[in-house]
Amino acid sequence: MTRKILTLLASTAILAGPAAAQDDETLKIGVLLTLSGPAAVLGEQARDGFQLAADEIGEIGGMPTELFIVDDEQKPDIAANKARELVERDGADIVVGPIFSNIAGAIVKPVTDGGAILISPNAGPSNLAGAECNKAFFSVSYQNDQNHEVMGAYAKEQGFDNVFLLAPNYQAGQDSLAGFKHSYDGGVAGEVFTQLGQLDFSAELAQIAAMQPDAVFAFMPGGMGVNLVKQYRQAGLESIPFLSAFTVDESTLPAQQDAAVGFFSGTNWAPDLDTPENTAFVAAFEEKYGKVPASYAAHGYDAAKLIDAAVRAAGGAADKDALIAALEGAEFASVRGDFAFGANHFPVQDFYLAEVVKREDGNFATSIVQPIFEDYADNYATECQMN
């Protein structure tokens, strides 16, 4: 079990023992992410991005800051209990997390009902963007459907009329295929939901080989994506275009390597996104951690910068209504350039088609090919009645 308590003053030090008694002079932030098991790399990227920004800032919001870094173990019941402990026992003002949407569904009430604010660096389930939106919930990443909508629009642009769809059977997987089909109106060769955590795709690849679709669209994050991409190449299917989101990215590429080169992804960010803030972030991240950052890290970094700007604007974290208002209008230097929240507390932002490349330094990364959507809000915002 991962649980670390960090205090950010002039420098960061690891402390042992219970949290200090809550007071209005200390900003307390829980960081609740998947940090064990096959998907740990995703949580580690978000944690490292957040920690990099926290180290750069020093005292977040100009306040002495305690970070409680906790592993949700990718289990909703455990995550809910740990979220409750962060708020009720540790006195967290803000909880940053999670990675997975089923975990978001489990922790949103324990966090927000307990009087804290939940800021997601990745998970963006459709219900929290729409009818179940929550004034104390913010997504700094995207709504789940949106990166998949990029690939649907691209498939339509390419004239593909027979696409095979593949995703794990949980909230984000369902959102992914809904997103793809929102912007794609061609034919569907097949639509398969696998078990979450599945690592053997021989049956699905046999179906694809038999059907010979115009393209394959897959959402398989973490270890699922590593295995799918390797097995796709091994099955000799590379002549069928491979479209994806979260399947080939900087969290999976160190394991996929050449097997992923030339595969496409929909995204709101890539390491070569041309903004001064992003150039500096990527260089600092690679120097500190010795790896290429993924979008999870970029969003973790932005989450810390967002909190810093909002707490300063609100004059602290004690007045939650003032802090929520400050988050809604926070101005900070996002790695993505211009950043603004929509009325449902999800970003309005640009989205891109990216392709996997092998860089001159030998590392693998995604690289922006072309913009697809500009200043794009999600499709659920109109269902949100914030109160």
- How do residues 42-70 score in pLDDT, each as one tens digit? 999 999 999 999 999 999 999 999 999 99
Contact by Cβ (8 Å): 205, 179? no
CA-to-CA distance for 81 and 110, rounded, in angstroms?
Answer: 8
Higher pLDDT, 38 or 354: 354
Same domain, 33 and 99: yes
Position 386 in a domain: no
Residue 13 has pLDDT above 50, yes or no: no
Position 342 in a domain: yes
Same domain, 255 and 367: yes
| pTM, rounded to two decimals | 0.92
Q: Which two tokens stand for residue 207?
A: 């179906």
CA-to-CA distance for 230 and 242, rounded, in angstroms?
Answer: 12
Same domain, 159 and 246: yes
Residue 56 buriedness (CB in 10 A; 0-12 / 13-18 / 19+): middle
The C-alpha R_g of the chain, in whole angstroms, comes to 20
Reported as a pLDDT band with limits 50, 70 and 90, residue 171 is confident
3-state secondary structure of 33: strand
Closest C-alpha to 102, from 134, 132, 74: 74
Same domain, 357 and 246: yes
Say how many residues make up the chain: 387
Query: What average pLDDT is seen over the chain?
Result: 93
Reported as a pLDDT band with limits 50, 70 and 90, residue 86 is very high
Cα 384 to Cα 43, 84, 134, 315, 381, distances in angstroms: 28, 25, 9, 28, 5
Judged by phi (left if over 0) then psi (alpha if -120 to 50, else beta), residue 292 lies in beta
Mean pLDDT (whole number) for 345-369: 98
Same domain, 250 and 298: no
Position 17 in a domain: no
Residue 14 has pLDDT above 60, yes or no: no
Position 50 in a domain: yes
Mean pLDDT (whole number) for 248-271: 97
Same domain, 305 and 367: no
CA-to-CA distance for 143 and 268, rounded, in angstroms?
Answer: 11
Mean pLDDT (whole number) for 106-117: 98
Same domain, 248 and 163: yes
Contact by Cβ (8 Å): 157, 214? no
Position 60 in a domain: yes
Position 106 in a domain: yes
367 phi, psi to nearest 5 deg = -135, 135
Same domain, 206 and 247: yes
Residue 6 has pLDDT above 80, yes or no: no
What percent of the chain has pLDDT above 90? 90
Same domain, 302 and 328: yes
Task: Supply angle C-alpha 106, 220, 129, rounded to 5.
Answer: 40
Position 33 in a domain: yes
Same domain, 182 and 245: yes
CA-to-CA distance for 73 and 187, rounded, in angstroms?
Answer: 38
Higher pLDDT, 21 or 326: 326
Reported as a pLDDT band with limits 50, 70 and 90, residue 175 is confident
CATH number, domain with residue 282: 3.40.50.2300
Q: What is the pLDDT of residues 195-242, one digit of tens each?
A: 998 999 999 999 999 999 999 999 998 889 999 999 999 999 999 999
Reported as a pLDDT band with limits 50, 70 and 90, residue 12 is very low
Q: Which domain holds residue 256?
A: 145-270+353-376
Within 8 A by CB and 6+ apart from 26, the residues are 20, 63, 64, 65, 66
Position 215 in a domain: yes
Strand 94-96 versus strand 117-120 pairing type: parallel
Same domain, 65 and 85: yes
Total structural domains within the chain:
2
Same domain, 315 and 279: yes
CA-to-CA distance for 318 and 263, rounded, in angstroms?
Answer: 47
Mean pLDDT (whole number) for 360-366: 97
CA-to-CA distance for 96 and 72, rounded, in angstroms?
Answer: 12
CA-to-CA distance for 15 and 214, rounded, in angstroms?
Answer: 55
Q: Give the lowest-confidence range in 3-17, 300-314, 371-385.
A: 3-17
pLDDT for 250 equals: 97
Q: Which two tokens stand for residue 270?
A: 């890539």
